[in-house]
Structure 1
Amino acid sequence: MSVSTAKAPAKNAYLAGVRDGWPFIFVVIPFSTLFGVVATDAGLTLAQAMGFTVLVIAGAAQFAALQMMMENAGIIFVLLAALAVNLRMAMYSASLVPHLGAAPLWQRALVSYLNFDQTYITSITRYEARPEMTVAERFQYFVGVATPITPLWYGMTLVGIYAGEAIPEAWALDFILPITFLAMVGPMMKSLAHVAAAAVSIIVALSLINLPSGTGLLIAALAAMVTGAAVETWMERRA
């Protein structure tokens, strides 16, 4: 097989990834713009906000950490909140190992950086549907999915930062962050376990509101995870 022929499947896989990834821009554009606006309103500088979005590149974790920062929580609590929200990425990584574990180290490092909800869900679905794909093709497809998403995530965050600077303080944008979380969590309420976890988190967080900033929220998050797992187990046994 010639070199040009060998490269063709990988190139085709990359283009297929780009094709499957571009519809996500309709979610990425408003979400990243909103982060830029809220980050500015929270007092982050241009360098801080952009460094945050480039290094973390995980919307839910960024908003969770930003919420804790706005409440003047300690750095440990900020990091723990972001880690709790992003624990699912560890499961994503583990499930990608059978498909990309044989890739070179630099490719695995790049996939690790670009591993977020959209790239993972789209790619793993493709891998399972087409087990004949080579490791090179899988890598190219993954990067292809990330190609239309990642630059927009950076760019629209920058747009949001400048937009936030232009918005008068009298507009009081503090309400945007809790509304954003409600919009994120609402569609996830698909089972009794989800509803139970949400209810417990609300009750515990409100009960512990007088604890040091951030402590109550982390305890509420832990209680919610335990509740969700317990209800899920109970439902499976009942079924």
Structure 2
Amino acid sequence: MTNLHYGKCWLRVVHAPAKKAEGKHWEGNTHAAFFFDGRVQKPRLYETVEFSHGTLVFQAELGAFVEEPVCSTEPVLREPLGLSDSWWESLRADIATVASVATKREAVRQEWVDRCVPEFLGIDPPEITEWETAHGDLHPANLTRETPWLLDWEGFGLAPVGYDPAMLLAYSGLVPPMAERVRKEFPILDAPAGRTARIVVATELLQSVSRGDHPELEPSLRALALGSE
């Protein structure tokens, strides 16, 4: 849409029952704007408005419009991208900036790890000893091809060190050249902390696979977690 003051904009509207119109995802974009607008390649959030209708609460967010195409129209990457060195430099810098921000928001919880890693991987759950702030949903559909812009910030929060690169790696498993480039650009993935992040991300996506999402990823996810990739 076009706004007379801001020009081209994205309008995002969500709704929830009044008792559930709160929490991490409801407040995520507003909090992300406070921490990251102007600091990383993130579309600015201009305005947020909430209003009620009956038993529902609606939230409307007006944000900057990004012209660039995304790396993929779905989270799973299915073809090589040929991204520039400057693209990777920008992404590394932005992930480092995000990681340096202190927050009490949680993207991953140790309790979830303790419960789900044995269920979906059949191994003992790792204890997360190194934490940092993460975008929380860093897959190819949330990255543009040129800048790159990082999109969809509502889930950001504390996660294991290396979580964002591990997420990008997991969703790139069907395209070996991209997976290899992710590992090259983010050596943390092969450090002990990065292995923990890979286990956590693989568990999350295997849980999604169990619900019918992207079953084709299962072999590469198990290899990612168990170290046989």
TM-score (norm 1): 0.22
- Which structure has more strand as a fraction of its residues? 2
TM-score (norm 2): 0.23
- Which structure has more helix as a fraction of its residues? 1
Of structures 1 and 2, the one scoring higher in RCO (CA 8 A, sep 6+) is 1
Larger radius of gyration: 1
